[in-house]
Amino acid sequence: MNFEHTEERRMLAETLDRFVAEQYGFATRDHIAQSTRGFSTELWQRFAELGALGALFGEAEGGFGGDGFDIAVVFESLGRGLVVEPFLGALVVGSAIARAGDTAHKPLLDAVIDGRTVAALAHDEPGSHYELANVATTARRSGEGWRLDGAKAVVLQGEQAGLYLVSARTAGEQADEAGLSLFLVPRDTAGLALRGYPRVDGGRAAELTFDNVVLGAEALLGSEGEGFALLEHAVGRGLLALCAESLGAMDAARQATLEYLRTRKQFGVPIGSFQALQHRMAQLLLEIEQARSAVINAAAALDDADRTTRERALSAAKFTIGRVGTLVAEESIQMHGGIGMTWELPLAHYAKRLVMIDHQLGDEDHHLARYIALGAQAA
């Protein structure tokens, strides 16, 4: 199988890498990440104009890409620059809307793809422990519409989002896959309250509370009680995106560490000439290439018709990325010595992001268990 990128993907990657290098330097990124807004609306629009959002969706949906390798190319470039703009929310929410195929929601999808609307996934809840079906938020029939009650945690860019994709239970027990429904909730909906806060790896998140939120019938995305498959599809694309982002961050950390080993001198020679450090660096490079192979495998399997093949590839990639990302963070800081922990050095921020990616949409322990469980089901 040929895993080389097409000419269009190579051009997109080069364009994004150049834009990030020239317009999204570390000082700029740090200022944006620590701002009260959590991202730059100006740069968000410029990313959209470059096609970074359109590449995440197929032509039928209003984009020009949409397959696994398109997603991987975009997010790997974003990872190299530690970009904090709300790409993950756009991908996951947009993918759910596109998959549902409801023409009434097409204007919302268009607004997400061209960057006019910031979208956020509101799914995680306290105590859910990454399980997609573990949802306590409820949606009950109210006339022709719905009444939503519950709370969502760690909603990325939740303060600035104009549209939320909210998971809620319309039937069944709390951990059942059946009975889960998805709703599109505008930010200005009465009864919706939020509390924002900064994230440790840059950018912002929010806690959302839904208190007797009244929604119209059009808020339901897909079929009532059948939202699990739709959510799994959208989150699967998010998993690939996070894996590719981590790979880009690993590459940046690797390059910074190699440069430091070449320039930092001890006993009159570069420390990179010490055999012990050479062995550690060689092992790190091998681990990063293994992570790259896992991302390629997940990208190739993203649209596989067989659920087990697709989901196992995604969980295998997320497990590998979690393990290797943490290793890269630890080893890079160790080989930098004390300076590796300083806030002023970009490496410390890459290390922090690599560790935090492991905890988004399921950590390595969760995905290892999921990979095993999926294999047992198929046996």
Which residues have a Cβ under 8 Å from the Cβ of 60 and sit 6 or more positions away? none
End-to-end Cα separation, the chain, in angstroms: 26
CATH 1.20.140.10 segments of the chain = 229-378
Partners of 183 in the β-ladder: 166, 220
Contact 144, 216 (CB under 8 A): yes
pLDDT of 8 reads 87
Q: Which CATH number fits domain 7-118: 3.40.50.300, 1.10.540.10, 3.40.50.720, 3.10.20.30?
A: 1.10.540.10
- Give the chain's residues under pLDDT 70: 1-3
> CA-based angle 34:207:250, to the nearest 5?
50
Q: Does domain 229-378 match CATH 1.20.140.10?
A: yes
CA torsion through residues 109, 114, 118, 121, sign = positive
Its pTM stands at: 0.96
pLDDT, tens digit, 9 for 90 and up, residues 77-87: 999 999 999 99
CATH 1.10.540.10 segments of the chain = 7-118
DSSP 192: E
DSSP 37: S
pLDDT of 318 reads 98
Q: Does domain 120-225 match CATH 2.40.110.10?
A: yes
CATH 2.40.110.10 segments of the chain = 120-225
DSSP for 282-337 reads HHHHHHHHHHHHHHHHHHHHTT-S-HHHHHHHHHHHHHHHHHHHHHHHHHHHHHHG
- Nearest-CA neighbor of 250 among 369, 110, 82, 366? 82
Written as six digits, the tokens of 314 are: 């995604």
pLDDT, tens digit, 9 for 90 and up, residues 227-275: 999 999 999 999 999 999 999 999 999 999 999 889 988 888 888 888 8
